[in-house]
């Protein structure tokens, strides 16, 4: 029994944060507008290519209960998309852009996925900036400040929020 306890204890280590659930403060953000909140959670990034569409994204989620999901992404079917270098980038909406990030913020009130509301930069006049201060194969760090809109089925704006925050994202473990 003692050997089993020692073996389980030795296997309980974390290899510098590769488990996203163990780093509960990979991002911090504040939201104002339709609702106000502060949140923190884990952030990761990944690039993918599927059916001729190239995407690179930073994804942020909290938990216990999950109240938000935030994606900042580059998407293009006409050019390669890769991990950006340090610098300041536009957040907005430009189809097939390898330079303008799209933001999608999903508000999940009290962990109720059925009541989720999506806010995005897909409506004209919404956006902001993403500043990347450090970018390597395994880690991307920076900050963001943007506004996003909620729309109805006819694409009429029915709400808006402003999101300000910072992050340290690790490469997604596939």
Q: What does each C-alpha distance from 166 to 28, 29, 115, 149 come to in angstroms?
A: 6, 7, 26, 20
Q: What does each C-alpha distance from 160 to 2, 41, 56, 66, 148 come to in angstroms?
A: 57, 22, 25, 20, 6
All residues at 6 or more sequence positions from 57 whose CB lies less than 8 Å from its CB, including other chains:
45, 46, 47, 71, 72, 73, 74
The per-residue pLDDT string of the chain (174 residues; one tens digit each, 9 = 90 and over) reads 333 232 333 333 333 333 444 444 599 999 999 999 999 999 999 999 999 899 999 999 999 899 999 999 999 988 889 899 999 999 999 988 889 999 999 999 989 999 999 999 999 999 999 999 999 999 999 999 999 999 999 999 999 999 999 999 999 987
Measured between alpha carbons, how far is 129 from 104 in angstroms, rounded to an integer? Answer: 14
Burial class (CB in 10 A: 0-12, 13-18, 19+), 22: exposed
- Scanning the structure block, which residue is given the tokens 């450090």? 134
pLDDT of res. 25: 58
pLDDT of res. 6: 28
Question: Quick one: tokens of 19?
Answer: 């488990």
* Dihedral angle, C-alpha 157, 68, 76, 146, nearest 10 °: 60
**pTM of the entire structure?**
0.83
């Amino acid at each position: 029994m003692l050997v089993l306890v020692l073996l389980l204890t030795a296997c309980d280590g974390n290899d510098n944060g590769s488990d996203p659930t163990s780093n509960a403060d990979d991002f911090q953000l504040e939201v104002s507008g339709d609702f106000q909140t502060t949140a923190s959670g884990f952030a990761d990034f990944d690039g993918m290519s599927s059916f001729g569409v190239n995407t690179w994204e930073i994804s942020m989620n909290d938990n216990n209960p999950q109240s938000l999901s935030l994606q900042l992404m580059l998407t293009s079917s006409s050019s390669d998309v890769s991990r950006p270098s340090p610098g300041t980038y536009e957040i907005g909406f430009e189809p097939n852009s390898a330079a303008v990030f799209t933001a999608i913020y999903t508000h999940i009130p009290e962990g109720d996925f059925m009541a989720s509301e999506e806010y995005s930069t897909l409506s004209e006049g919404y956006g902001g900036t993403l500043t990347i201060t450090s970018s390597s194969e395994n880690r991307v760090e920076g900050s963001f400040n943007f506004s996003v809109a909620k729309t109805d089925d006819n694409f009429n704006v029915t709400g808006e929020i402003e999101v300000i925050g910072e992050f340290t994202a690790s490469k997604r473990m596939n």
